[in-house]
Structure 1
């Protein structure tokens, strides 16, 4: 099979280093091109959805609100709206129902390794059925992707209420013991199950077991073979398939509705070619994928459905990728689907896609790009992503176009990207060869981006809400970015960069008719040579300056911004290319209850065997750092990523009683630049006793501001080395 998602990229192992160049002057001069006339009316962005969502932080609760936070690795940062509500035993979140509904889907998180249930109440009356919650499909580790850390904290669980609720009614969820972080509730009126189409072949007539106990794989294969040119009917029920289907062509696979007909498998269709005319509609495929293994085809569709095919009305969940499409998929239509909780992409058109339309889909909680076109082996051509709603891709971009010819991205709504991505990326990052760079006309029109863009932990540098990236080759296509709305970007709105570090130019870009509101740093982040024209781009509440124009690499050439007329609110320029502007006061601050040190880079003067510095910040109190023995002093240093007003440290040793009580003599030092350290708390002895959890707390002075935290150990009564199983840092005293 072709290489599966992202043996690279969305890994984005970028070769970019710290920006130290003196920036080129901004050429936001009087327009050299004729100004546009009136901007055409923008169509509504996003999908038309069968449900209405309500955020937990806007509901009534007896729990604790967390967030907002944009820092990768925190629970709030992956939540919708960067906020959620944490409840423990007996606590609840009560939602006011926004529409007539008989079904609930809940996005939530529970601590790693735990599971439980939520009681559900309607207008104060508890239902007999409960909502199961689990961490089984969360906490995904992708150690081969630099800077990714553990991510994918949330999951979705659904429930038919057994009754119809009306607008204004109250639906509450209550913890029965497990700590649950509630993110968002979707309320939906689910239609009755559809009946069997005339002349169709039912999978149960071929021996499929709707109870889910038996293996229905052969029954599905036999039904597909019998129904060539017709329809395979999947009645209401749960069906278990233990190996993938192939040879699927000239057939319709149809269920009674995605809440009724459910196929349980981690590999539904896997085939490299098909004669096409495949119609897949109106059922659910729910997998058991709990980790990302790029060599495994753990996908709803892997390969090709063939020309003239369609996928509609599907509920796709707990797989690696929804659709990983290679081969001939000409004129494929993918519409009106829900793709949830994938450990990698939602959908990826992997070369050879001609005339593909991906529209009106809802995607939540992807572990990589939600929607991507990757022109590997051949260019994706004349294909589009239209009117999709994408939320919480927790490792990469909402929408990514990697190469291709005459591609369109129109009227999509993307929110809450995290870590290695932007809301939309238009890129010549190839990952593998042979690759077809961007060509023809790339249309990016009518999109709305909310809280998109993030700090890339590989670069320690921000990514904009909408990024144009000449990563591996110059961009020479015509790129028209029109009618864009960028709201609450934590960093910049539009980024132009040559992320591979070769200084390739970005050319042929026009940005027109954009509205930018409350961007954390700048409107335009220009870090490549080349040029772009801006018309009718208005900005309000800009955090630092209008433009950051600092070429990367240094002296690689200037980026020219041409004023096409009608621009306002972003005329200033950031003057110091040796520093990146910090977000303005409008940008949310980190959750004060979050451990700032967890998952951050850690170094030490020495370590013993496998007891490396990272073990002190991995969130696992049973693993630990141990310095070189018999060689005091020894130091552990943690880079918190930004400067914080740290008020409290919690130092831990493994809680096992095998660790006898001991006292370590520790000096706390801090630095904002990583080179000049000053003493924050002088040398003191801290007692670690297994009877009290082997934990010591250090209170820092109110004046403390640091990014780099250093603990220097000069003595240990229990072992001749520095030892910490966890070093935690908090904003609260």
Structure 2
């Protein structure tokens, strides 16, 4: 559940609840340079599509919820129409690739694959089956979960510097990032193990292997169940799993297809699961369904390692006794809810060195329901693109550690890290003891809560349902390119509870969009050696809510620099880039801004012309010239140039639109900036035209009046871009 100080956002109990540190750069998903120990040590290296060579169209960057680019790694990706390609320079020796991608809703297809210019026999399957998730019961949620992952063994070795290209065939594909990996040969069967095939399992995937798995588990008590290379289908879940090891030949070779792998409320423990894949068929989020890799408990002293977990509701929804569980070296991809949620009652749990991408709720969460999680930790994990909640969330618990994690690109209702007393249900156990948050790197984390335009910080301490009385130590943090604030202190339920006993020391904050400290609750925090550069609006926003609920005290412990100013007006939120440094004059001032029109046709609404996607468009009501479209830039701007676009596809034949450009500073009185002019849009030149504006132009509201279109009986724009440069 997630909220702001202005009210409650229904989210259900977080249930089944950087990569590119700089956009366009090649990414090695190994410990980040910003903090030597941040993130997981991973067997693959990722390359962002926007840094590759392409004949397609780069989209983004964008932070607007509900847009494709906003959910992409680095907030950018490359869109391919049929016949277009994106070509990656291979960063390391590899024989396999995993690609994060999107296709339009309802479509499926494949990408042709070329190695050094030669097409290989295999293709990479793409589908929208697991995307476009709707969670209408969550306030503020829009259709989300746009991306999916598809993997391929290339059948050959490629070397660093080789070229691997993907070509769209028949359907539009947006490519986000490619992970290149050298996959070892399949492992051999351990001596003395019980093979599921010997008990009747079908490695072709045609038959139901559930009973064979159950029989092998019964036969191998105290030993190893062996899952040979193959595809195995389980029609129902496993239970009564204890005192056994389930082992595969490797996560690229042994694949179990089921949406419910283990579902049990109790176990004596000693369960060890490793080295295979569990791939489900979950296409929507139903919180009452146990559509999880592990639902319930594995019992004390258990472990999960080397797993590929994909297309489930949750990777782990853990209840009961999971004392001293170790979850490490796994990949958890494309879940419609949490990657892992530790639901109270567990002690000494370690979750480390895992990679999580594209969760539909918190990627990693501890929720102290029924009894507190204690002495447990999330360490050295790499988390990318949770699209509806936090990267890491700690909801209550005693003596919890969040250390050396790398988290990037949160979206919609989440921070990179949330330390919270939001209870969801009772009996809840609030934060207690010492909460250690150390050595974490947060890149492009934090978001706007869409319910009321409330900004959420990269790292949030939240006294949602009760005061934060635990000692919260936040040390050695790196926060880069947060779209809003770096550190937020809030009482998200609107009760004004205190967030005290907080220390922040040894932080580096670079290019935060609004403020370094966003204080919205009574309480206190001591800051030492917090150094900031590129602060967007001011150093501190200190406006506790509700008004008069008490003050928030910031104590200067010394060594702080770059954030000594305070936002002076508590009646307004600071906007990104409002202060120093000034906004980039090459920034599109119109993107993501509120847009209206005198009319629109079907789904072709005014906002499609400012969503950062040249393939979506606004179209006015047919046969109703003039069609008028208006965007509010937020404040008066010295606009010198407009770029008007139609979709860059050959299906859009050349046409001329007659456009008058008008401007206003108050939204009531408009004056003509450029008189009626015919502008030719031609797909041969990208369906783009540029309109120069007079040097004296200053406007907040930009209006385009279209009186004619030679190609269609309506006004049409896929993008309207406004710039301060000529």
Whole-angstrom CA distance in 1 between matches of 2:215 and 2:586: 55
Question: 2:721 matched to which residue of 1?
Answer: 731
Q: Are residues 1:549 and 2:542 paired?
A: yes
Q: Would you say the 8 A contact 2:292–2:317 is kept in 1?
A: yes
Question: 1:218 matched to which residue of 2?
Answer: 211
Task: Give 1:554 shift.
Answer: 1.2
The TM-score normalised by the length of structure 2 is 0.81
Q: Are residues 1:373 and 2:366 paired?
A: yes
Unaligned runs of 5+ in 2: 9-33, 622-627, 647-659, 674-689, 706-713
Of 392, 404, 429, the residue aligned with 2:422 is 429
Q: Would you say the 8 A contact 1:603–1:614 is kept in 2?
A: no
- Secondary structure, counterpart of 2:206 in structure 1: strand
Whole-angstrom CA distance in 2 between matches of 1:205 and 1:256: 16
Of 97, 101, 113, the residue aligned with 1:104 is 97
Distance verdict in 2 for CA 1:389–1:704, change over 3 Å: same
Q: Would you say the 8 A contact 1:518–1:586 is kept in 2?
A: no
Task: Give 1:76 shift.
Answer: 1.2
Of 489, 496, 509, the residue aligned with 2:489 is 496
Of 563, 567, 571, the residue aligned with 2:560 is 567
Distance verdict in 2 for CA 1:586–1:442, change over 3 Å: farther
Q: Are residues 1:508 and 2:498 paired?
A: no
Q: Are residues 1:311 and 2:304 paired?
A: yes
Whole-angstrom CA distance in 2 between matches of 1:458 and 1:709: 27
Q: Would you say the 8 A contact 2:630–2:701 is kept in 1?
A: no
Question: 1:412 matched to which residue of 2?
Answer: 405
Question: 1:290 matched to which residue of 2?
Answer: 283
Distance verdict in 2 for CA 1:728–1:672, change over 3 Å: farther
Whole-angstrom CA distance in 2 between matches of 1:303 and 1:680: 65
Q: Would you say the 8 A contact 1:69–1:590 is kept in 2?
A: no
Distance verdict in 2 for CA 1:678–1:395, change over 3 Å: farther
Task: Give 1:643 shift.
Answer: 9.3
Question: 1:3 matched to which residue of 2?
Answer: none
Q: Are residues 1:537 and 2:530 paired?
A: yes
Of 172, 176, 189, the residue aligned with 1:183 is 176
Unaligned runs of 5+ in 1: 1-8, 18-40, 606-610, 627-634, 652-666, 683-698, 712-723
Question: 1:15 matched to which residue of 2?
Answer: 6
Q: Would you say the 8 A contact 2:98–2:179 is kept in 1?
A: yes
Deviations 1:194-213 (A, max 9, x none): 11111111111111111111
Question: 2:134 matched to which residue of 1?
Answer: 141
Task: Give 1:139 shift.
Answer: 1.1
Whole-angstrom CA distance in 2 between matches of 1:425 and 1:448: 14
Of 195, 200, 210, the residue aligned with 2:193 is 200
Whole-angstrom CA distance in 2 between matches of 1:128 and 1:507: 61
Question: 1:54 matched to which residue of 2?
Answer: 47
Question: 2:167 matched to which residue of 1?
Answer: 174
Question: 1:240 matched to which residue of 2?
Answer: 233
- Secondary structure, counterpart of 1:211 in structure 2: coil
Whole-angstrom CA distance in 2 between matches of 1:476 and 1:614: 51
Distance verdict in 2 for CA 1:545–1:85, change over 3 Å: same
Task: Give 1:680 shift.
Answer: 8.0
Of 437, 440, 453, the residue aligned with 2:433 is 440
Q: Would you say the 8 A contact 1:596–1:640 is kept in 2?
A: no
Whole-angstrom CA distance in 2 between matches of 1:545 and 1:91: 44
Q: Would you say the 8 A contact 2:597–2:606 is kept in 1?
A: no
Whole-angstrom CA distance in 2 between matches of 1:442 and 1:169: 46
Q: Would you say the 8 A contact 1:240–1:265 is kept in 2?
A: yes
Task: Give 1:591 shift.
Answer: 9.2
Question: 2:518 matched to which residue of 1?
Answer: 525
- Secondary structure, counterpart of 2:424 in structure 1: coil
Deviations 1:16-42 (A, max 9, x none): 49xxxxxxxxxxxxxxxxxxxxxxx96
Question: 2:458 matched to which residue of 1?
Answer: 465
Whole-angstrom CA distance in 2 between matches of 1:469 and 1:588: 33
Task: Give 1:405 shift.
Answer: 0.4
Whole-angstrom CA distance in 2 between matches of 1:387 and 1:399: 12
Distance verdict in 2 for CA 1:317–1:593, change over 3 Å: farther
Task: Give 1:613 shift.
Answer: 11
Distance verdict in 2 for CA 1:247–1:570, change over 3 Å: same
Whole-angstrom CA distance in 2 between matches of 1:677 and 1:253: 69
The TM-score normalised by the length of structure 1 is 0.81
List aligned pairs for 1:70-81, cutoff 5 A. 70-81=63-74
